[in-house]
């Protein structure tokens, strides 16, 4: 079961605003402002001028409407970004496992397996298509494959594609179906194929580590934007490592299974 990432425990948001323009007030003469109060659009002042009684003035504010811009990262937005990273990690790692398994299936072992033809492409009326999409592939016995096309006119194109696939198979086209007899693998050939499988497994692990690296960079970016704290990133990185280890074990498991098939006579 995939490990669940830890929730964000501390959130810091960035808020910014532009400075408001200051209001300047001036009066003729040498009056002194005794007191003032402000409403949304007007300023009320009590002014005492020399030789004059106290007067109350109402001055319309010359202020322009405040245009300050406020933008705060909400918890929902931060959680959405974090969830998107987690989803991307798991989807890409799952895709990597599928690619490794597909590569393994294309390498034949001592037993007939339709999957060894999964990557064979046929030039079907000028368009490259996967063989299994235009033909039914079965295993009548442990040492042979039977390819029955849905369109018999494609037999020659299928035969050509199999020969060009470098699978070491010789197709037998009887005008109705194509039969493939799988020769027994020599001990030397089994060891060669085992090395190829080991290389493919290592390439899969490198891909998993690269996905982890990309996710860490994404978390660090959120930290720089003050959306995640340093502790958040450490917790998420720890959970990410557990997920990475889980997928590494999956690659090891399918690799050992494939190696066993190759070395079993």
Structure confidence by residue, pLDDT tens digits, 189-232: 888 889 999 999 999 999 999 999 999 999 999 999 888 888 88
As to burial, measured by CB atoms within 10 angstroms (0-12 exposed, 13-18 middle, 19+ buried), residue 212 is buried
- CB of 43 within 8 A of CB of 50? no
Same domain? 229 vs 190: yes
Q: Are residues 125 and 231 in the same domain?
A: no
Domain membership flag for residue 167 = yes
Find, among 180, 50, 158, the residue nearest to 113 by Cα.
Answer: 180
Tens-place pLDDT, residues 47-56? 444 444 444 4
Indicate the SS3 state at residue 166.
coil
Closest to 230 in 3D by CA, of 12, 14, 84, 72: 12
pLDDT digits (tens, 9 = 90+) for 89-112: 999 999 999 999 988 988 877 677
Residue 46, strand partner residues: 35, 56
Structural domain range at position 158: 114-181
What pTM does this model have? 0.61
Give the end of a domain, one of 152, 181, 210: 181
């Amino acid at each position: 079961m995939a490990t669940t990432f830890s929730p964000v425990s501390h959130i810091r948001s960035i808020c910014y605003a532009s400075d408001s323009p200051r209001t300047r007030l001036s009066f003729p003469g040498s009056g002194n402002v005794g007191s003032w109060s402000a409403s949304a659009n007007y300023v009320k002042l009590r002014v005492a001028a020399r030789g004059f009684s106290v007067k109350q003035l109402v001055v319309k504010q010359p202020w322009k409407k405040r245009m300050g811009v406020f933008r705060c990262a909400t918890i929902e937005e931060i959680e959405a970004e974090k969830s998107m990273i987690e989803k991307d990690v798991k989807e890409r790692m799952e895709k990597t496992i599928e690619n490794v398994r597909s590569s393994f299936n294309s390498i034949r072992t001592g037993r007939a397996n339709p999957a060894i033809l999964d990557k064979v492409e046929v030039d079907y009326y000028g368009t490259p298509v996967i063989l299994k999409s235009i033909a039914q592939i079965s295993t009548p016995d442990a040492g042979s494959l039977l390819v029955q096309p849905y369109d018999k006119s494609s037999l020659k194109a299928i035969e050509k594609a199999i020969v060009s696939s470098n699978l070491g198979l010789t197709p037998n086209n009887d005008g109705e179906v194509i039969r493939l007899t799988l020769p027994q693998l020599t001990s030397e050939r089994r060891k060669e194929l085992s090395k190829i499988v080991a290389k493919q497994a290592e390439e899969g692990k490198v891909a998993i580590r690269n996905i982890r690296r990309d996710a860490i960079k994404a978390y660090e970016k959120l930290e720089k934007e003050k959306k995640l704290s340093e502790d958040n990133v450490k917790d998420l990185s720890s959970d990410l490592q557990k997920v990475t280890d889980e997928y590494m074990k999956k690659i090891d498991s399918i690799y050992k299974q494939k190696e066993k098939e190759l070395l079993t006579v």
